[in-house]
Structure formats: C-alpha cells, structure tokens
Amino acid sequence: MAHRSPRGMYFEDFEVGWQLDSATRPLTGEVLREFADLTGDRNPLHSAETSGDGGFGRPIAHGVLGMALAIGLIEETGVHEGTTIAMVGLTDWRFRHPVFVGDVLSAHMTVVAKRVSTTDPARGVLTRRLELRNHARVVVQDGTTVLLVRRRPSSGRWPWTRGRPLTADLGPTDAEQPAGQHARPQRPEVP
C-alpha cells in the first residue's frame, strides 16, 4: 500500500517495502521542446514538426526526460526534502514503452533496501525502485536509484559533522602528529 509522505523523512523513517505514489503531471509539447533545447537532443523522434520519425506515429519523449520526471515527481512529494545528501547510483533503468505528448504521468517508489553508511554512521544508504506510469497506469519506465540520506540527529549536532565540531572533519591537528610532520598542508609563507 502506498503512503502519503511526511516531508523530509530521515533514513530511520523508511522501512524496506515502504511505498509512495506521486501526484500526476501531463507531458506537454512545450516541455518536450524545452528539454530538447536544454540537452541539444533534437532528434526528429521528439519533434512535433516531423510527426515523430521513429515508427510510433507521433513524437515520443526523450528517455532521460522520463527518468528525470520520475525522480522529480517523487521529489515533489517532499519525502526527501532537506534529508537527501546525494543520489549515488542508478541501475537497471528500463524504457519499457514510449512516452507521448499528452500522457499524464505519475511515479511510484518502493524502498527495496537500506543500510547505514560504512564510511559515515551519520548517513544511510537508501535503495529505491522507481516506476514511471502513464494515465493508463502502464509502467513506461522503471529502475533503481540509490540515495545517500541523513540519519536523524540524536545529539543536537548536525549529522554531517558526525557529532563533532566542523573543524574535526579536517583531520588531525599538528599537535596530534609526530614532530616534523604536518597533518594538514601548510600555507606557503607570503613575503
């Protein structure tokens, strides 16, 4: 069962199997033209002027436009607002059916895995399966994305500092190094 999301969910708020449905968005010819201008991909497949030249009888959306819309539709729910650090992976993305101007699209997300980061315990790694669906609820694209997500702060400090003052992330100080070795690069002396 899909949920309505609270805004800004932390790593701990997600469970494997948790699902979310987005709102809908129509794909317009204007969006298709703007995307072609932005990317420089003006293949006749995507042009209303040539009626789409790819055997579909009408223009189709760029594949990566559909992928971007799926990600954006989920982001518009606010589920990751202020808690996503970065998208760090995209795997097995499939373009199953063409997306046409006039299609009304929505996205569906399912959390398929989660783990605490091995390099920073203040972060979690969230793996989610995304589906882009048309107005007939046909899955037109799907794939897996991996996000680096903030964990809920427990000490009142910002999670990306690992509970220490910001300067602690710069490495050991010179006082912590053996004599004659510098922990941080030294600035050249200015004459």
Cβ neighbours around 170 below 10 Å, total: 9
Digitized pLDDT (tens) for each residue of the chain, 191 residues in all? 565 567 899 999 999 999 999 999 999 989 999 999 999 888 878 776 665 556 788 888 999 999 999 999 999 999 999 999 999 999 999 999 999 999 999 999 999 999 999 999 999 999 999 999 999 999 999 999 999 999 998 755 444 444 444 333 334 444 444 455 444 444 444 44
125 in a domain, yes or no? yes
179 in a domain, yes or no? no
| Owning domain of residue 141 | 2-164
- pTM, entire model: 0.76
DSSP conformation class of 154: S
Residue 63 is which amino acid?
Answer: G
Can you give the CATH number for the domain in which 21 is found? 3.10.129.10
**Distance separating alpha carbons of residues 171 and 116, to the nearest angstrom:** 22
